[in-house]
Amino acid sequence: MNLENKIAIITGATSGIGWSTALVFAKAGAQVVATGRDFSRGESLLNEMNRLSNKEHLFVQADVTDHGEIKKVIDSTVKKYGTFNILINNAGIAPQGTIETMTVEEWDKVFNVNVRSIFLFSKYSVPVMRQNGGGSIVNISSTAGVVGAYNLHAYSASKGAVIQLTKSMAADYGKDRIRVNALCPGGTLTKMMEDLEGQEGLKKFAELFPLKRLAQPEEIAQTALFLASDQASFITGAVVLADGGFTAV
Ligand SMILES: NC(=O)c1ccc[n+]([C@@H]2O[C@H](COP(=O)([O-])OP(=O)(O)OC[C@H]3O[C@@H](n4cnc5c(N)ncnc54)[C@H](OP(=O)(O)O)[C@@H]3O)[C@@H](O)[C@H]2O)c1
């Protein structure tokens, strides 16, 4: 699979799944616009991408809860490359809590990062992609958007919303040759997962998966690569589970 001549924006690229996706996309020939809040991790990622490929990549520091900063990412991309074809909406947070234990502020923050940012990034990306003859948007949801999740009420609700937004965007923008898909990872070895489960918890959690292990971030990145690529040309509105069988049983 290759992404030659593609320009891809990846949110939450400063860590975990987004970081791996940026490297996999750069290796596949894309020009990558990576974004995240952490400047020094962003610069390190940019250096690694530049080592892997001779394309010109970009890191734009931005907080996805800030409307103006989302516009800055889009504007910087269009200014540098003229257009872009791929958007990976990956930034996310997963604070624990039930409806009883979470505050309103915590609930709103989860929806700001996990859902509102997808609304805004997509809002500004669709016109650019339409004008360019099409594109591919991959929204990172979760198994928690398909089945419930203990003590992750806001997270699970937000990831369910991502799936329904994906299907509705796919319905409206198919005519513009813009494909929109949801990718639902199962437990993946990133900081988010370590924070949720702790080292001991990770082993126990892995036992719940038919494959008896958690994913490496690169395995999720490879699925994102397929969905973003022209090889997935007839796939839109899909909910693709890369979950080691977690939701199959
Ligand atoms: N790991 C799993 O098991 C798993 C399973 C299912 C779904 N997912 C989903 O996969 C996605 C990536 O998660 P991950 O596991 O790779 O987590 P991670 O290692 O914690 O990375 C999260 C990324 O999101 C960014 N981010 C968070 N809040 C942000 C904000 N306000 N503004 C800008 N960027 C922000 C972080 O950037 P900074 O560090 O620069 O702030 C970081 O790059 C998330 O949507 C998550 O829900 C993960």
Residue 212 lies in a domain: no
- The rounded Å distance from CA 175 to ligand 1 centre is 31
DSSP one-letter code for 225: H
d(CA 233, CA 48): 29
Domain total of the chain: 1
Going by alpha carbons, the residue nearest to atom 21 of ligand 1 is 15
Does the beta carbon of 187 lie inside 6 Å of ligand 1? yes
The CATH number that applies at residue 129 is 3.40.50.720
Residue 214 lies in a domain: no
Full domain range(s) for residue 98: 7-186+220-239
Say what the pLDDT of residue 78 is. Answer: 98
Q: Residues in the chain with pLDDT < 50? A: none
Residue 86 lies in a domain: yes
Does the beta carbon of 65 lie inside 6 Å of ligand 1? yes
Residue 60 lies in a domain: yes
By most ligand atoms within 8 Å of CB, the mutation choice from 32, 37, 196 for ligand 1 is 37
Say what the pLDDT of residue 200 is. Answer: 87
pTM reported for the whole predicted model: 0.98
Structure tokens at 93: 């947070």
DSSP one-letter code for 245: T
Say what the pLDDT of residue 1 is. Answer: 87
Say what the pLDDT of residue 208 is. Answer: 96
Say what the pLDDT of residue 82 is. Answer: 98
Residue 62 lies in a domain: yes
- The rounded Å distance from CA 39 to ligand 1 centre is 15
Residue 196 lies in a domain: no
- The rounded Å distance from CA 9 to ligand 1 centre is 15
